[in-house]
């Protein structure tokens, strides 16, 4: 679902909105058509089915769906805001939400009657702007778990029960680091916890690389930082200060990237956001395990010749497990040409009528409880156990779920944190360097 970046485009959009916009129209919009954009090709059939149901309930209205790849999606969407060719409705990501609210390119949705209680906890509240207006209708959600190669785990003498009961701490890594070390094998067949292990010539890493994690670390370090008690901002939504200068956070980052220095986690040089992400490392047999999101369930399940299973994130120093619970939404653009039709379409997208259909395709967890139940049943029918993703949402006593950081100038935060984290991961820069980065981010945020 869900990788990044939009910084330069956001700057161009800011300039355009100040100086004025062109008013061309290449969307194919008309009075009886609602244009809708999404980026996930796997979800396209589900939303085509929803469109048919919507059109049956709304005679005379037609939904025109455009699917674009992640990178092209944000490029064309932002260019559309500038040129006046944006869609009526689009799939929105919480990462970009703050920036879009600041730029005033979203239409308020207060009249849709969205209730927190109709969706999984926290999903509806995340789409309230700092002005108190709603700008997104809950669409789906995801959490993070540990995917692992069952054959490699069995060969290492480990069990599913053991992987499901790991704990960690920033001092010695706990049983989690021990497991990752034991899953690591060098070119001579030595495991990471055996005498003579060669960390400079590793054949199979215990943990795949998913990059530096930008400023959110969703599938990298976020579950560790949160289970240590740390939060991105001084308040859950629309915070005024980031906390990357926290001693707790920096101890987590030093330990986490230290796994690569020890040879247990793949180095930054093994990661490529376009082609060699964590899942491809596991698929190629170069890593035994990887933290990844629920949107990747079908991808891992589809690896030929490999039995990939999942385990919960490890218990942290606070005594709880943690995972980011991210959620997408559907938003209406401020300059939508068919706002009346767009409102009807977004209301339908947010209803059980559509979300149970989406859930039945077994690709993503829809935001409504009925939609989630339909997805779980669909995955079960495919023989895929998704409990590592759903259990954290149901058990708040033992799990901490948290959102992607919601604040203004999110693109600027990402632009500063991305190289800062990569310098620590790949170039050995001290974690104390985050003090200065944090100061720069908060200076921008205070404007």
| pTM (2 d.p.) | 0.92
**Per the structure block, which two tokens stand in for 372?**
């989630």
Phi-psi domain of 55 (left: phi exceeds 0; alpha: psi -120 through 50; beta: other): alpha
Predicted confidence (pLDDT) per residue in 319-331, tens digit: 999 999 999 999 9
pLDDT of residue 12: 44
Predicted confidence (pLDDT) per residue in 380-417, tens digit: 999 999 999 999 999 999 999 999 999 999 989 999 99
Distance of alpha carbon 168 from its chain centroid, rounded? 23
Answer for the pair 346, 137: CB distance below 8 angstroms, yes or no. yes
Residues near 300 by Cβ (< 8 Å), separated by ≥ 6? 147, 279, 282, 292, 308
Give the mean model confidence (pLDDT) for residues 351-356: 98
With 80 as the cut, is the pLDDT of residue 130 above it? yes
Do domains 7-141+327-395 and 144-324+409-445 share one topology? The answer is yes
pLDDT of residue 30: 64
**Per the structure block, which two tokens stand in for 159?**
């069990």
Measuring CA to CA, which residue among 345, 369, 337 is closest to residue 112?
A: 345
Give the mean model confidence (pLDDT) for residues 133-144: 98
Domain positions in the chain are: 7-141+327-395, 144-324+409-445
pLDDT range class, residue 31, cuts 50, 70, 90: confident
- CA-based Rg of the chain, rounded to a whole angstrom? 22
pLDDT range class, residue 447, cuts 50, 70, 90: confident
CATH topology of domain 144-324+409-445: D-Maltodextrin-Binding Protein; domain 2 (3.40.190)
Q: What CATH homologous superfamily does 7-141+327-395 map to? A: Periplasmic binding protein-like II (3.40.190.10)
Predicted confidence (pLDDT) per residue in 55-100, tens digit: 999 999 999 999 999 989 999 999 999 999 999 999 999 989 998 9
**Per the structure block, which two tokens stand in for 304?**
């030929």
Measuring CA to CA, which residue among 379, 286, 310, 291 is closest to residue 160?
A: 310
Measuring CA to CA, which residue among 332, 313, 315, 333 is closest to residue 323?
A: 313
Task: Measure the CA–CA gap between 274 and 378, rounded to whole angstroms.
Answer: 29
Task: Measure the CA–CA gap between 173 and 254, rounded to whole angstroms.
Answer: 11
Answer for the pair 177, 264: CB distance below 8 angstroms, yes or no. yes
Which three-class secondary structure state does DSSP give residue 332?
Answer: strand
């Amino acid at each position: 679902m869900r990788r990044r970046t939009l910084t330069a485009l956001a700057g161009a959009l800011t300039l355009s909105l100040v100086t004025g916009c062109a008013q061309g129209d290449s969307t194919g919009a008309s009075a009886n058509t609602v244009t809708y954009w999404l980026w996930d090709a796997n979800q396209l059939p589900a939303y085509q089915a929803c469109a048919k149901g919507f059109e049956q309930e709304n005679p005379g209205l037609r939904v025109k769906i455009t699917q674009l790849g992640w990178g092209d999606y944000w490029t064309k969407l932002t260019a559309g805001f500038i040129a006046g060719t944006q869609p009526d409705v689009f799939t929105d990501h919480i990462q970009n939400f703050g920036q879009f609210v600041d730029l005033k390119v979203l239409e308020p949705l207060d009249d849709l009657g969205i209730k927190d209680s109709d969706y999984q906890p926290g999903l509806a509240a995340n789409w309230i702007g700092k002005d108190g207006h709603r700008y997104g209708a809950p669409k789906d959600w995801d959490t993070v778990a540990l995917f692992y190669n069952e054959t490699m785990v069995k060969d290492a003498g480990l069990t599913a029960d053991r992987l499901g009961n790991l704990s960690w701490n920033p001092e010695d890594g706990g049983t989690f680091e021990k497991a990752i070390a034991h899953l690591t094998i060098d070119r001579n067949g030595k495991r990471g916890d055996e005498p003579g292990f060669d960390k400079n010539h590793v054949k199979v890493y215990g943990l795949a690389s998913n990059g530096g994690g930008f400023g959110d670390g969703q599938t990298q370090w976020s579950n560790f930082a949160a289970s240590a008690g740390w939060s991105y901002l001084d308040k859950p939504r629309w915070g005024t200060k980031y906390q990357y200068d926290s001693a707790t956070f920096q101890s987590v980052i030093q330990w986490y990237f230290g796994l690569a220095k020890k040879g247990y986690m793949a180095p930054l040089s093994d990661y490529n956001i376009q082609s060699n992400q964590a899942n491809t490392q596991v698929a190629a047999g170069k890593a035994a395990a990887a933290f990844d999101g629920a949107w990747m369930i079908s991808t891992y399940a589809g690896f030929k010749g490999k039995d990939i299973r999942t385990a919960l994130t490890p218990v942290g120093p606070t005594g709880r497990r943690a995972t980011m619970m991210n959620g997408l939404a559907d938003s209406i653009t401020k300059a939508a040409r068919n706002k009346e039709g767009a409102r009807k379409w977004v209301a339908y997208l947010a209803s059980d009528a559509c979300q149970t259909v989406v859930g039945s395709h077994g690709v993503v967890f829809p935001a409504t409880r009925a939609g989630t139940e339909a997805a779980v049943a669909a995955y079960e029918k495919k023989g895929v156990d998704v409990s590592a993703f759903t259990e954290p949402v149901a058990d708040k006593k033992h799990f901490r779920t948290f959102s992607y950081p919601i604040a203004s100038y999110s693109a600027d935060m990402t632009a500063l944190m991305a190289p800062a984290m990569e310098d620590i991961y790949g170039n050995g820069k001290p974690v104390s360097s985050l003090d200065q980065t944090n100061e720069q981010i908060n200076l921008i945020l205070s404007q």
